[in-house]
């Protein structure tokens, strides 16, 4: 069983470089199925979040993990292999398991301990299961990842404070930009987990909220819980002209907010626009308008350095827990391999006895012992050859 992971994330490249490779939630099932077919891997899971796209696979033997990802994107019309080589990383064996065990509890997130990442990993795994992407190995790997996430959440303070980038964005506006949010007006574009968390935080800060969505009905439930106003996305320009804050987090493939949407001058009124989407929702050229500041996920990443210090104190203990889980997974993998080898040995010996019985009557009775010795010798030689081809442990 050869485990590998190839991916692109916020550690390897900027948001603008990552955007062409991004996969949305509704693409994950087909992406997993296509990736499995294209690569011929035994098991696959494609993981996509706001800040990463990662391809997990199990194969019978060692493979070139990057080559499979290149072929996948080529099938989607993306042929810039040199750029993909530069931006992507590869983890193999134990290192791949360790990486996922750090990703799932948020130890590898822009916001250390981000809780939303667990739900995103579960969604990716569920979508992969719907098309029979994972098998015994990846099922075990991802369930171990869920276990370590729960344990780190309960045994450390990694997750104190803001639970996601949406919540962190509010903290940034308050603590780092020094804004008093009470009484300000905010328009929030999109209805999903991120915006649900965001509007609850804004409501606690006494912000006047207007939710915009292409389907107004989807915004009604969210708005009802906090008494927010609702507008169709077609009224964006009007709502923006009366807003102090703008947040956008949709799954659109192109810009949702354009410079032309800001129809009236803002010389005496500031607008801070926060883009929480990948690909980006807000055209960066909006920042060229007077009185407008645009922040995207890369900007949030830079602002979060100070916020991380308190959580980072818990990092050594969290990493110790990760290593415990890595050890448990490796022990399971070795045991599974040993059980497979034992079954193979028994089947080969049964085959040896069966074939020997078929030919025994073709030889003289005195040759029986010699035939038995010959068959056992061939059996042992074959096992030695097979064992020499096995990979006894997952490589670091």
Q: 20 and 137: one domain?
A: yes
Q: 71 and 46: one domain?
A: yes
Q: 239 and 142: one domain?
A: no
Domain boundary among 275, 303, 331: 303
Q: 169 and 143: one domain?
A: no
Domain boundary among 303, 327, 360: 303
273-300 burial by CB neighbour count: b if 16+ within 10 A, else e?
Answer: bbbbbbbbbbbeebeebeebebbbbbbb
Q: 147 and 10: one domain?
A: yes
The tens digit of pLDDT for each residue in 317-343 reads: 999 999 999 999 998 888 876 555 555
What's the total number of domains in the chain? 2
* 66 within a domain of the structure (yes/no): yes
For residue 346, give both structure tokens: 């028994």
Q: 100 and 189: one domain?
A: no
Q: 169 and 245: one domain?
A: yes
- Provide Rg for the chain, Cα atoms: 27
Identify whether 50 is a catalytic site residue. Answer: yes
pTM recorded for the entire structure: 0.71
* 282 within a domain of the structure (yes/no): yes
- Give the CATH number of the domain where residue 271 resides: 3.40.50.720
Domain boundary among 276, 303, 330: 303
CB 178 within 8 A of CB 334: no
* 377 within a domain of the structure (yes/no): no
Q: Of 5, 6, 50, 187, which is the active-site residue? A: 50
* 396 within a domain of the structure (yes/no): no
- Give the CATH number of the domain where residue 68 resides: 3.30.460.30
* 33 within a domain of the structure (yes/no): yes
The tens digit of pLDDT for each residue in 13-56 reads: 989 899 999 999 899 999 999 999 999 999 999 999 988 999 99
Q: 150 and 289: one domain?
A: no
CA geometry: angle at 108 spanning 103 and 114, to 5°?
80
pLDDT tens sequence for the chain (396 residues): 799 999 999 999 989 899 999 999 899 999 999 999 999 999 999 999 988 999 999 998 899 999 999 999 999 999 887 888 899 999 999 999 999 999 999 999 888 888 889 999 999 999 999 999 999 999 999 999 999 999 998 898 887 655 577 777 888 888 767 889 999 999 999 998 888 889 998 999 999 999 999 888 888 988 988 899 999 999 999 999 889 999 999 988 899 999 988 876 666 788 999 999 988 999 999 998 888 999 998 888 877 766 677 677 888 999 999 999 999 999 888 887 655 555 556 777 777 777 777 777 777 766 777 777 777 777 777 766 655 444 433 333
Nearest-angstrom CA–CA distance, 195 and 277: 11
Residue given tokens 């989807």 in the structure block: 218
User: In this structure, what are the phi and psi dihedrals at residue 284, rounded to the nearest 5 degrees?
Assistant: -55, -25
Q: 149 and 186: one domain?
A: no
Q: 125 and 227: one domain?
A: no
The tens digit of pLDDT for each residue in 129-162 reads: 999 999 999 999 999 999 999 999 889 888 765 5
Q: Which domain holds residue 45?
A: 2-155
Q: 44 and 136: one domain?
A: yes
* 345 within a domain of the structure (yes/no): no
End-to-end CA distance of the chain: 14
* 138 within a domain of the structure (yes/no): yes
* 98 within a domain of the structure (yes/no): yes
User: In this structure, what are the phi and psi dihedrals at residue 81, rounded to the nearest 5 degrees?
Assistant: -70, -35
Is the sign of the CA dihedral 33, 36, 40, 42 positive or negative?
Answer: negative
Which pLDDT score is estimated for 98? 96
Q: 228 and 116: one domain?
A: no
């Amino acid at each position: 069983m050869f485990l590998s992971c190839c991916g692109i994330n916020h550690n390897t490249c900027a948001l603008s470089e990552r955007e062409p490779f991004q996969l949305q939630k509704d693409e994950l099932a087909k992406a997993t199925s296509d990736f499995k077919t294209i690569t011929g891997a035994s098991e696959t899971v494609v993981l996509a979040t706001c800040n990463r796209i990662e391809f997990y696979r199990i194969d019978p033997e060692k493979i070139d993990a990057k080559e499979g990802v290149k072929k996948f994107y080529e099938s989607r019309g993306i042929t810039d292999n040199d750029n993909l080589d530069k931006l992507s990383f590869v983890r193999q064996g134990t290192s791949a398991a360790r990486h996922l065990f750090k990703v799932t509890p948020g130890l590898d997130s822009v916001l250390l301990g981000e809780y939303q990442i667990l739900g995103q990993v579960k969604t990716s795994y569920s979508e992969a299961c719907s098309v029979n992407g994972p098998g015994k190995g990846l099922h075990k790997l991802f369930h171990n990842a869920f276990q370590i996430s729960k344990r780190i959440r309960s045994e450390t303070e990694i997750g104190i404070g803001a639970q996601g980038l949406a919540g962190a964005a509010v903290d940034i506006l308050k603590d780092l930009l020094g804004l008093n949010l009470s009484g300000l007006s905010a328009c929030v574009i999109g209805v999903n987990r991120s915006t649900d968390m965001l509007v609850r935080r804004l409501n606690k800060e006494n912000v006047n909220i207007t939710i915009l969505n292409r389907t107004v009905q989807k915004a009604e439930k969210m708005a009802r819980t906090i008494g927010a106003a609702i507008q169709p996305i077609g009224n964006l320009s009007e709502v923006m002209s009366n807003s102090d804050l703008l947040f956008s987090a949709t799954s659109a493939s192109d810009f949702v907010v354009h410079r032309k949407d800001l129809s009236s001058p803002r010389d005496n009124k500031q607008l801070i626009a926060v883009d929480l989407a990948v690909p980006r929702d807000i055209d960066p050229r909006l920042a060229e308008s007077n009185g407008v500041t645009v922040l995207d996920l890369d900007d949030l990443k830079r602002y979060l350095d100070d916020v991380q210090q308190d959580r980072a104190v818990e990092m050594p203990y969290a990493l110790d827990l990760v290593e415990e889980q890595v050890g448990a997974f490796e022990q399971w993998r070795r045991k599974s391999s040993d059980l497979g080898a034992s079954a193979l040995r028994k089947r080969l010996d049964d085959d040896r006895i069966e074939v020997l019985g078929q030919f025994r009557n073709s030889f003289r009775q005195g040759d029986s012992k010699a035939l038995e010795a010959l068959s056992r010798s061939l059996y042992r030689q074959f096992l030695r050859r097979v064992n020499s081809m096995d990979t006894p442990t997952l490589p670091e």
